[in-house]
Structure 1
């Protein structure tokens, strides 16, 4: 296991734990942005739990590589959906946020596959 893999996974896990916890806590900023882009408020907590599950799966993937690959792939799909949601709503100014998470998730996926 390389230092680069651990570094990327650590950043991805930390970013998704923070974002997922913000969703689960129903942070005002999160609620306003999700509502602005047409995401129903009833989806916010479940979406946060998906991010937290992805982060947990990445950590578990250190011991069980197939689980890490599945978690990273799930996060990539999640953030592709987030980018699509913002694009559909013409929220171009905010694309950098899900885009950043998408880059982290994609890097985690590629590096986990290579390391397996």
Structure 2
């Protein structure tokens, strides 16, 4: 794996991990939009766990590529669902945020795995 792919993978892992942790810690900038989009509160911990699992999977994928592939695909699908949720909530201006989080995961998939 190239240095670029490794760096992009670590950036993707950091971003997904940060996003998941911000839900667990109840950061306003993360949980308020979830409430506005109509995401049930009972789902928040599951969503945070999925993001954190994806982050761990990306890091493990540096050593075991099939796990990294699965994690990158999972994160890409997760954030695609997030874009759909934002659009369904008619918060069109916010659709860029899940795209920004998905971009490094997709790039890591394309570059390294």
TM-score, normalised on structure 1?
0.92
Q: Which runs of 4+ in 1 moved over 6 A?
A: none
Q: How far did residue 112 of structure 1 move?
A: 2.8
Structure 1 unaligned blocks of 5 or more: none
Structure 2 unaligned blocks of 5 or more: none
Q: How far did residue 110 of structure 1 move?
A: 1.3
Deviations 1:44-67 (A, max 9, x none): 111011100000000100111000
**Match in the other structure for 1:84:** 84
What root-mean-square deviation, in Å, do the aligned CA atoms of Structure 1 and Structure 2 show?
1.0
Q: How far did residue 82 of structure 1 move?
A: 0.3
Q: Distance in 1 between matches of 2:21 and 2:14?
A: 10
Q: Distance in 1 between matches of 2:104 and 2:90?
A: 23
**Match in the other structure for 2:68:** 68
Equivalent residues of 1:12, 1:105 under 8 A apart: yes
Q: How far did residue 17 of structure 1 move?
A: 1.1
**Match in the other structure for 1:56:** 56
**Match in the other structure for 1:44:** 44
**Match in the other structure for 1:101:** 101
Q: Distance in 2 between matches of 1:29 and 1:103?
A: 20
